[in-house]
Amino acid sequence: MFSYAGATQAPAAQPVPTRCGGFGGADGLVQFIRGQGITHVVDATHPFAAQMSRNACAACETTGTPLLALEPAPWQAEAADRWIDVTDMDAAAQALPKEPARVFLAIGRKQLAAFANHPRHHYLLRLVDAPAPGSLPLADTTVVLGRGPFSAEHDQALLQAHGITWLVAKNAGGEATRGKLLAARALGLPVVMVQRPPLPQRPRTEEVDAVPHWIAHGVLPGAPGAAASSP
């Protein structure tokens, strides 16, 4: 079964049964695991969906259900990058310049309040769904709609079209949303990079193909005790 958080109005279709919405905390997830006879849990949430991941760890410990995190490694800055690493959104807002700037907030819509106290900047948002009128806490905002992945060329054109001078991003990792970082590098723009929240230790993999192997054999490919490949 595939579970969506319910953050978008029209989530992508999946070739398996799906559900949408929260579970009611760790206790609710315990009840769901037991009620549905779940034998394995794969935490494929966004690396910044920290509470869901913590709930999954707690629920799987309570029920004795094997848990695997499917998450990409964090991005690493390269020589040409101009990154400012920060720990959270409040620090990201504080890291922006004192003078007015044109900022691409590539952070979704749930954590915009941290920037409401910095109205001197113009903010560009890219969202999957159109926001309801008056629902955004930012006074000077442009919203563009789109569903990734986006290429570096696409994002460079977007940044140039809107005269963007700063980028704020979450260190989600992966290739699907890396285009904005490559675009910022090409344009020499500073990037305020919000680092991931701390999470409990649990088995993890970056490879989608490793998940079925883990479900079938209880270990990741190449781990001690993994089944040998057929010749």
Bridge partners, 194 (sequence order): 86, 170
Q: What burial class does residue 208 get, using C-beta atoms within 10 Å of its C-beta: 0-12 exposed, 13-18 middle, 19+ buried?
A: exposed
Would you say 43 and 56 are in contact if contact means Cβ atoms under 8 Å apart? yes
In angstroms, the CA 110 to CA 176 distance is 20
Task: Assign domain 82-194 one CATH number from 3.30.420.40, 3.90.1300.10, 3.40.50.300, 3.40.50.720.
Answer: 3.40.50.720
User: Is pLDDT above 90 for 207?
Assistant: yes
Q: Residue 229 contacts by C-beta under 8 Å, 6 or more apart in sequence?
A: none
User: Is pLDDT above 90 for 222?
Assistant: no
Residue of 44, 70, 37, 7 lying closest to 204 (CA atoms): 70
In Å, how far are 96, 104, 117, 143, 165 from 99, measured between CA atoms? 9, 16, 14, 22, 11
Q: What is the pLDDT of residues 75-88, one digit of tens each?
A: 999 999 999 999 99
Domain boundaries, the chain: 2-72+199-217, 82-194
Decide: helix, strand or coil at residue 157. Answer: helix
Q: What is the pLDDT of residue 226?
A: 58
Q: What is the pLDDT of residues 173-206, one digit of tens each?
A: 998 889 999 999 999 999 999 999 999 999 999 9
Q: Residue 97 contacts by C-beta under 8 Å, 6 or more apart in sequence?
A: 166
Handedness of CA 154, 106, 16, 206 (dihedral sign): positive
Q: What is the pLDDT of residues 36-67, one digit of tens each?
A: 999 999 999 989 889 999 999 999 999 999 99
**Backbone phi, psi, residue 188, to 5°:** 70, 30
Q: What is the mean pLDDT of residues 3-7?
A: 68
Pairing of strands 67-70, 41-43: parallel
Q: What is the pLDDT of residues 120-150, one digit of tens each?
A: 999 999 998 899 988 999 989 999 999 889 9
Confidence of residue 8 (pLDDT cuts 50, 70, 90): low
Would you say 164 and 102 are in contact if contact means Cβ atoms under 8 Å apart? yes
Higher pLDDT, 129 or 159: 159
